[in-house]
Amino acid sequence: MAAYEAVVKVRFGDVDAAGIAYFPSIYNMIHRVFEDMWEFHVGIPYAELIVGQQLGFPLVNSNVDFKRPLRFGDEPRVVVTCEKLGRSSLVLRYRFFLGEELALDARMTTACIDMPRLKSCAFPDNYRESLLALKADGS
């Protein structure tokens, strides 16, 4: 398995009055990791996909288990693996770790769409190998 890993920082604007990251901020962190994965793992800047190739990746399903709060100043390590790559859908798992402790476990399903038509389309073949390399079971 060649998981993609990143470190995110919980910023002051990410936390609520209780001092913990609130869920919209968590979704933003996950999306930033998603964007970075395209550039640093797949090899194409996310902006090129959206603007240049007119491909979009809307979120169609999400499942997030909050195990431990993330607080201002925390820098969790995020481990991304691919659970499924279909013709036009991708399920990625994002695990946020503080040290060895799992703080958050999320599964996000995105669709690949042709932006001008807003219709699903197949993931381009030239990106499939990199995405499949993230499969946790190696298949």
Candidates 89, 87, 72; CA nearest to 13 is 72
C-alpha pair distances (Å), 25 with each of 30, 75, 129, 137, 138 = 9, 14, 30, 30, 31
Q: Residue 27 above 90 pLDDT?
A: yes
- For residue 1, the model assigns a pLDDT of 53
**Whole-number percent of the chain with pLDDT over 70:** 97
| Side chain identity, residue 129 | E
The mean predicted confidence, pLDDT, of the chain is 95
Report whether pLDDT(138) > 80.
no
- How confident is the model at residue 136, as a pLDDT? 75
Quote the tokens at residue 27.
Answer: 């979704």
> What are the tokens at 40?
């640093």
CB 112 within 8 Å of CB 90: yes
Work out the average pLDDT over 106-131.
Answer: 96
Q: Residue 137: what pLDDT? A: 60
Q: Where are the domains of the chain?
A: 4-132
Give per-residue pLDDT as tens, 37-85. 999 999 999 999 999 999 999 999 999 999 999 999 999 999 999 999 9
How far apart CA 80 and CA 99 sit, in angstroms, is: 16
pTM value is 0.94
Which amino acid is it at 90?
L
Topology classification of domain 4-132: Thiol Ester Dehydrase; Chain A (3.10.129)
Query: What local confidence, expressed as pLDDT, does residue 2 receive?
Result: 81
